Amino acid sequence: MSQVVIRKTENSVGVTLPGGTSFFKTGVLQASNGVSSHGINIQDTETSDYILRDFPFSEIKEADGTQFDTTRDATVTALNNLINASADTFIKDTDKITALDGVTESDFTAKEGYGVFVGATDGSIQTSGDVILGATEITVSTDIKLNNGDITSNTNQNIT
């Protein structure tokens, strides 16, 4: 029996069959149990076409040659975790997020040039360069503490 290799790139999933490789957008494919006790289906949810139908799960490998798992159900879960994973997204400053219970800073990966502050605990910014706050007004409700630094104006205006 020939192998099928599943490879995830940044924004696509490649499925390599004996006849070649087909690429699909991330999140388009769906894995499910096949009819046989060892079979797996992979379907393109946009076209309803089957990429694999009742294919033995033991013959489906990751790009490095590793088998996804040792049981059919676990393989379906592992496949879906890979092929349905979203590409990296950045939430634009026009988007709003509210009521994310249990979310912490560790749930986010900051992109270069952007920071993430979550919750009401102390936050810090660490950088090897300047920190520029792009706001028309910054409101501070308590003291600002400087460690051996100055507050200056880049337009030689008074600071009050």
pLDDT at 159: 73
| pLDDT at 57 > cutoff 90 | yes
Model pLDDT for residues 68-123, shown as the tens digit of each residue? 889 999 999 999 888 876 544 444 444 455 545 555 656 666 556 555 555 555 55
Q: DSSP 3-state assignment of 150?
A: coil
Amino acid sitting at position 36: S
pLDDT at 33: 94
SS (H, E, C) 49-109: CEEEEEEEHHHEEECCCCECCCCHHHHHHHHHHHHCCCCCCCCCCCCCCCCCCCCCHHHCC
Q: DSSP 3-state assignment of 154?
A: coil
| pLDDT at 52 > cutoff 70 | yes
Q: Write out the H or E segment, with its range, that includes residue 147.
A: none
* Distance of alpha carbon 48 from alpha carbon 87, whole angstroms: 22
Give residue limits of the domains in the chain.
Answer: 4-83
- For every residue of 35-52, DSSP letters joined together read SSTTEEEEEETTT--EEE
- Mean predicted confidence (pLDDT) in 55-60: 93
Are the C-beta atoms of residues 105 and 116 closer than 8 Å to each other?
yes
- Mean predicted confidence (pLDDT) in 35-52: 93
pLDDT at 117: 57
**Does this model's pTM top 0.85?**
no
